[in-house]
Amino acid sequence: MATGDEEAQEDELLALASIYNEDVFEVTREDGKPGGQFSARLELPDHFSVQSDTSDTLSKSSATLHEVKYLLPIMLFFQLPPDYPSCSSPTFTISCKWLTLQQLSQLCHRLDDVWEENKGDVILFLWMSFLKDEALGFLQITSPLDLSHVVASMKLKRAILQWQVTASKSDDLTTKTVDGSELTPGHSDSQIKHKSSLTSSEQLTFDPRAIQDIGSQQMLLPAILEYDREQRLCVFKQTVYTCQVCFAEKLGDECLQFDGCGHVYCKDCMRAYFNVQIQDGSVQCLTCPYELCESQAHPAQVKELVTCEVFARYDRLLLQASLESMPDVLYCSRKTCGCAVMVDTESSMARCPCCHYVFCVFCKQVYHGISPCRIKEEEARKLREQYTNASPQERKMLERRYGLPAIHHVMEETETLEWLEEHSKKCPHCGTHIQKIDGCNKMTCTKCRCYFCWMCGEVLSHRSPYSHFSNPSSPCFNKLFHGVILNDDEDDDDEWLPID
C-alpha cells in the first residue's frame, strides 16, 4: 500500500468515526484490509406512510396505511483496496429490506457515478451523505410507500446467489450488460441482465452488489413496523419531558406515555395514580389524567409500575369487568362459589362448571323450568317502569322471563299501590289503608276500631280522643278541622271505611 493512500484511508476512517456514532458507523479489518459498514437512517417527511397488500386479488386502494417515523436503514458495506483513493474505488455492497433489487441497483450505479466525479479523493463521506439525505429523492419515493411487490422471488434470489458465487471464484467470468458489452463481475459498471434458468418474463436487470436481506414478502411489513416502534421508544427515552401532573422535567426513560393521546407523565406520579385506582377497584378508570382525555393505559405499562400483588388484583378485576360486559357470561348465584358461567342466550338455564348448581339466568334462583320467575316486592315497581319504557323486543324478553299474566298483575298492583300512597294513609295499629273524604282529623278505623290523628298519625286515646287537638303541647293543637271545609250537618265522629 502506498504511504499516501494508507494515510488517507486512516485519516478518513478516523474522521468518520468522530462524526457518526458506533451504532451508525463501524470500522472492520479483515485480513489486514480496512473496511466497515454504515447504517443510513433516513429522515422521513411528516405523516409518511407505508402500505402492503400481499393479495393479488385486492386492489392497491384496499391496502391499509401505516404511518411511520422510521424506516429500516440502508446498509453500506465497504472495503478499501490498497490503491484507494489514488486509483481504485472502494468495493461495496448495499442491502435493504424495503427496496427492490432494481432500486438497490440504481443506488449502486449512483455511488459509481459519485466516485467517477471525485476520482482520486476520499469518497466514503459523500457516499454516506447521499444514502442518508438524498436516496429517497433520487429514487422518487413518496408517501405512501407501496410494499406490495418488493421482495424478489426465491427463484430469482437463488439465481443471483449462484451468479455471485461463480463471479467470486472466477476473475475471467464475463457477462453481458444491457447494451451488449462484455465486462467482468468486479467491473464498476456491473449492471447485468441475468440469463440462467429463468424464463424470459423473469429476466430482470440487477447489480450483483445489490442485496435484499429479507426472506419473504409476508415478513416485510411486520419488520418495518417493529423497527419503527423500537426507534420511537429509543428516541422517547432520550428526550426530556415535563410531567403534566407534578410539572417536573425528566428523561423519557423515567416517564410513561399514553399511546392513544401521546400525553407524558413521570412514572412516580403514574405509579401513585395506578395504585389508588386499583385499590378502589376502578381498573377501567386507568385513563390519561389529562382533562377530557380517555386514552387507556396498556396492561404492560401498569405491570411495569406497580407491585406483583397490585397487578394481580388489577388483572383479576379487569378480567371480571370484561366478563361482566359479555352478554353470554354470568356468575354462579351461590355466594360460596361465584364462578363465571357461559350461558346459551336461547335458554333460561345455566349450569355452574365448578359446583354444578343449576339456576335461572333471569332471577338467579334455582332453575324453575317453564314456570315464570317469582317477582319480589321490591322489584315490582322497577319491572313496571322497565316494561313501560321497553322496546318491543325487550318486552318479549321480559314476558318470556316472567310470563305475560304476571306482568299484567304487577302493572295493576303497582298502579293500585301508587294510588293508595297518594290518596290514603295506613292505620298506625293494623296497617289498613284509610281514605279521608271529609270530616275532622280524628279518624276511626272500622277494622280495628283504633282512633288516630290524620295529621301526624298518632294513636289517640279512646277515653279522650280530642285531647290531642286541645293540648297546647301537641303538634296538632287546635288543628281538629285543619284543611277541612265545614258544613252545618257535618258529624265530627264519622267512621271511615277501610280500603282493601
Which of 27 and 198 is assigned the larger pLDDT? 27
Mean pLDDT of 448-452: 87
Which of 310 and 194 is assigned the larger pLDDT? 310
Tell me: pLDDT of 201 over 50: no
Tell me: pLDDT of 120 over 70: yes
pLDDT for the residue numbered 417: 72
Does one domain contain both 389 and 289? no
pLDDT for the residue numbered 194: 39
Does one domain contain both 402 and 482? no
Tell me: pLDDT of 197 over 60: no
pLDDT for the residue numbered 140: 94
What is the domain-level CATH number for residue 179?
Answer: 3.10.110.10
Tell me: pLDDT of 397 over 80: no
Mean pLDDT of 10-29: 93
Does one domain contain both 416 and 458? no
* Distance of alpha carbon 132 from the chain centroid: 34
Query: Lowest-confidence range among 195-199, 367-371, 401-405?
Result: 195-199
pLDDT for the residue numbered 206: 79
Q: Considering the domain boundaries, does residue 192 fall inside one? A: yes
Q: Considering the domain boundaries, does residue 355 fall inside one? A: no
Does one domain contain both 18 and 156? yes
CA dihedral for 337, 343, 348, 354, sign (positive or negative): negative
Which domain range does residue 386 map to?
377-423
Q: pLDDT-based confidence at 402, cuts 50/70/90?
A: low
Does one domain contain both 197 and 254? no
Helices (H), 342-389: 377-389
Tell me: pLDDT of 7 over 80: yes
Query: Other C-beta atoms within 10 Å of 144: how many?
Result: 16
Q: Considering the domain boundaries, does residue 328 fall inside one? A: no
Highest mean pLDDT range out of 19-33, 85-99, 212-226, 454-468? 85-99
Mean pLDDT of 442-468: 85
* Structural domains of the chain, count: 4
Mean pLDDT of 336-340: 80
Q: In the Cβ-directed half-sphere of 390, how many Cα atoms lie within 13 Å?
A: 16
Query: Lowest-confidence range among 50-54, 237-241, 314-318, 423-427?
Result: 50-54
Which residue in this structure is represented by grid cell 450488460? 177
Q: Considering the domain boundaries, does residue 353 fall inside one? A: no
Does one domain contain both 72 and 166? yes
Does one domain contain both 95 and 185? yes
Which of 423, 454, 483 represents a domain boundary (last residue)? Answer: 423
Does one domain contain both 194 and 137? yes
Q: What is the pLDDT of residues 355-383, one digit of tens each?
A: 888 888 777 778 877 676 666 656 666 77
Which of 361, 396, 423 represents a domain boundary (last residue)? Answer: 423
Q: Considering the domain boundaries, does residue 333 fall inside one? A: no
pLDDT for the residue numbered 149: 82
Q: Considering the domain boundaries, does residue 338 fall inside one? A: no
Tell me: pLDDT of 13 over 50: yes
The SS3 assignment for 286 reads coil
Does one domain contain both 85 and 171? yes
Mean pLDDT of 142-151: 87
pLDDT for the residue numbered 247: 92
Mean pLDDT of 290-317: 89
Does one domain contain both 156 and 95? yes
* Cell, residue 302: 401498569
Tell me: pLDDT of 349 over 60: yes
Which of 55 and 210 is assigned the larger pLDDT? 210
Is position 440 annotated as part of the catalytic site?
yes
463: left (phi over 0), alpha (psi -120 to 50) or beta: alpha
Q: What is the pLDDT of residues 243-280, one digit of tens each?
A: 989 999 999 999 999 988 889 999 999 999 999 989 88
What is the domain-level CATH number for residue 266?
Answer: 3.30.40.10
Q: What is the pLDDT of residues 83-106, one digit of tens each?
A: 999 999 999 999 999 999 899 999
DSSP letter, residue 461: P
DSSP letter, residue 292: T
CB < 8 Å & 24+ apart, contacts of 152-160? 152/100, 152/101, 152/204, 152/212, 153/202, 155/198, 155/202, 156/101, 156/198, 156/202, 156/204, 157/212, 159/194, 159/196, 159/197, 159/198, 160/101, 160/194, 160/206, 160/208
Distance CA 363, CA 373 (A): 6
- Average pLDDT score, the chain: 80
DSSP codes, 433-449: EE---SS-SEEEBTTT-
Q: Residue 453's closest CA among 475, 431, 472?
A: 475
Q: Considering the domain boundaries, does residue 228 fall inside one? A: no
Does one domain contain both 140 and 173? yes
Phi and psi at residue 477, to the nearest 5°: -55, 130
Q: What is the pLDDT of residues 421-440, one digit of tens each?
A: 777 888 888 888 888 777 78
| C-beta separation of 387 from 375 below 8 A | no
Q: Considering the domain boundaries, does residue 332 fall inside one? A: no
Does one domain contain both 183 and 57? yes
Per annotation, catalytic residue among 288, 440, 445, 453: 440
Beta strands in 158-313 (DSSP E): 175-176, 182-183, 192-193, 205-206, 210-211, 240-242, 249-251, 255-257, 264-266
Which of 406, 423, 440 represents a domain boundary (last residue)? Answer: 423
Tell me: pLDDT of 115 over 90: yes
Tell me: pLDDT of 16 over 90: yes
Q: pLDDT-based confidence at 496, cuts 50/70/90?
A: very low
pLDDT for the residue numbered 471: 84
Query: Other C-beta atoms within 10 Å of 38: how many?
Result: 23
Highest mean pLDDT range out of 29-33, 103-107, 462-466? 103-107
